[in-house]
Amino acid sequence: MRQFTLAEKYTFCGKGLHTGLPCRMTVSPAAENTGIVFRRIDLGEDAVVKAVAENVSQTSRSTTLSSGNVDVHTVEHLLSALTGCGIDNALIDLDNAEVPILDGSAEPYVSVFKAAAQDAERVYFDVPQVIEIRDEKSGSWVRIEPAKTTSYEVTVDFGSKVLGVQNARWNGGEDYSSQIAPCRTFVFFHELEFLFANNLIKGGDVDNAIVIVEHPVTQEQLDRMTDLFGQRRLTVSGRGYLDNLTLHFPNECGRHKLLDLIGDLRLGGAFLHARVSAFKPGHSINTKAAAAIRALMAKKN
- pLDDT at residue 48 greater than cutoff 80: yes
- On the question of pLDDT at 272 being above 60, the answer is yes
Residue 46: phi and psi, rounded to 5, are -100, 5
* CB proximity list for 51: less than 8 A, separation 6 or greater: 35, 36, 37, 38, 65, 75, 79, 266, 267, 269
- Rounded to an integer, the average pLDDT of 133-143 is 96
User: Is 174's pLDDT higher than 90?
Assistant: no
Asked whether residue 267 carries a pLDDT value surpassing 60, the answer given is yes
Confidence check: pLDDT of 194 > 80: no
Average pLDDT over residues 254-272: 97
Burial 186-199 (b: 16+ CB within 10 A, else e): bbbbeebeebeeee
Over residues 130-156, the mean pLDDT reads 96
pLDDT in the model for residue 218: 86
CB 88 within 8 Å of CB 3: yes
The mean pLDDT value for 167-172 works out to: 94
Confidence of residue 200 (pLDDT cuts 50, 70, 90): low
CATH fit for domain 2-126+254-300, picks 3.40.50.150, 3.40.630.30, 3.30.230.20, 1.20.58.710: 3.30.230.20
Active site residue 190: no
Question: Stretch 256-279: mean pLDDT, rounded?
Answer: 97
Give the mean model confidence (pLDDT) for residues 97-114: 97
Which residues make Cβ contacts (< 8 Å) with residue 15, sequence separation at least 6?
A: 21, 22, 23, 100, 101, 203
Would you say residue 203 has pLDDT above 60?
no
Cβ contact 48:70 at 8 Å: yes
Q: Which is the catalytic residue, given 18, 248, 256, 283? A: 283
Name the 3-class secondary structure at 128: coil
* 188 three-class SS: strand
pLDDT tens across 54-102, in order?
999 999 989 999 999 999 999 999 999 999 999 999 999 999 999 999 9
Residues 211-236 have pLDDT tens digits of 899 998 888 888 877 776 666 678 88
Average pLDDT, the chain: 92
Q: How confident is the model at residue 209 (pLDDT cuts 50, 70, 90)?
A: confident
The reply to whether the predicted model has a pTM over 0.85 is: yes
- Average the pLDDT over 11-33 and give the result: 95
